[in-house]
Amino acid sequence: MGNLVVDIMPPAYWQDFERLTLDIAKSKWKDEYAERNGRQGQVQAGVDVYGYNYVQGEHTGIQCKKRTWKTKPGADAPSNTLTFAEIDEEVKSARDFSPKLKRFVISTTGPRDADLQEYVRKINEKSNGLTISLMFWEDYVDFLNDSPDFMYRYYENVLKYRNAYSEDEHYYRIISMAFDRPAIRTPFQLENRATDFIDALSATKAAISTGCLKDREGRVIDQARVPQEKPKGLGGAARKLQKAREVATELLRAGTILEHPAVIEILDRSVIQKLNELRFEAVDLLNEILVEKGLPIISIDR
């Protein structure tokens, strides 16, 4: 494993490894709608996580291969790695995935292996349109160490061990993640569904008040203790979101906003400016707080 000291252990359960992989994929691919493929026991065509990589312009699938770890004197190390036969089997299955994949990634908690990397390079020489990649646990560790949001979400105890954990910072990073979603970043007229927009505003507002961030299915993504004294601007941002939610709900009920299968239709164009302004104002209030806390601000399309 070279000179890299791995002080971040893989998740104990395969479900958590798959969830971590999905969240990393969403972040790296810029695809909020990347998802797990099926459930345990279903035929998955070799794919656990699927989405569209907007950075590379590729339909991408990932197969997660968790490996057991054993303790050695003075260190923890993975007990085994992938085999050539496993790679062949997974690649064969992935070729049957629909829609057709441009890239297939086999991710593993096992160690980086030069022989496996060479084997995959040889496969890619005759890939027939499907590019294969490997993602080892060292790659996860590199990503995690460069991504404080993910460290707070998945490895809070590691931060505490490093004396780098802050309850307040954890809370504000959760709020930042809550705001960093399409319903907040995307101009309202480009939304696909008004109900998704309303639900996202509710989830963001709830994260402010509870410190608990949930996904679209209501599953907890991350949670932190709410500071005893929150900046006044945060309450103002929550009120802006609540107002936008109320306006969108009423206009949807009145038929001013119509939902179609893939787009929304807005009969009164002044609605666009009103809802966008409320989003801008909420983000501006949060960004003032993030700057004060020394944290990255939220970028929004205006």
Asked if residue 171 and residue 137 are part of one domain, the reply reads: no
Omega into 99 within 30° of 0, i.e. cis?
yes
Q: Is residue 222 part of a domain?
A: yes
Do 178 and 284 reside in the same domain of the chain? Answer: yes
Question: Has residue 159 been placed in a domain?
Answer: no
What does the alpha-carbon distance between residue 226 and residue 267 come to, in Å, rounded to a whole number?
40
Are 59 and 131 part of one and the same domain? yes
> Does any domain span residue 254?
yes
Query: pLDDT by residue (tens digit) across 92-126?
Result: 999 999 889 999 999 998 888 899 999 999 999 98
- Provide the residue type at 251 as one letter: L
- Quick one: 182 and 106 in the same domain? no
Residue whose pair of structure tokens reads 């460069």 in the numeric block: 146
Q: Domain range spanning residue 226?
A: 166-293
Q: Is the pLDDT of residue 130 over 90?
A: yes
- Nearest to 10, CA basis, from 180, 136, 187: 136
C-alpha atoms less than 13 angstroms from C-alpha of 281 in its C-beta half-sphere: 16
* In the predicted structure, residue 222 carries a pLDDT above the cut 50: yes
Q: What is the model's pLDDT at position 126?
A: 84
DSSP state of 201: H
Residue 7 lies in a domain: no
**In this structure, what is the dihedral angle of CA atoms 212, 214, 220, 225, given to the nearest 10 degrees?**
-10
Which pLDDT does position 46 carry in this prediction?
76
Same domain, 200 and 140: no
What number is the average pLDDT over the span 177-191? 85
Convert the pLDDT of each residue in 69-94 to its tens digit: 555 444 444 446 788 999 999 999 99
Which residues neighbour 192 within 8 Å (Cβ) at sequence distance 6 or greater?
262, 263, 264
Q: What's the total number of domains in the chain? A: 2
**Residues 82 and 91 sit within 8 Å (Cβ to Cβ):** no
pTM of the model: 0.76
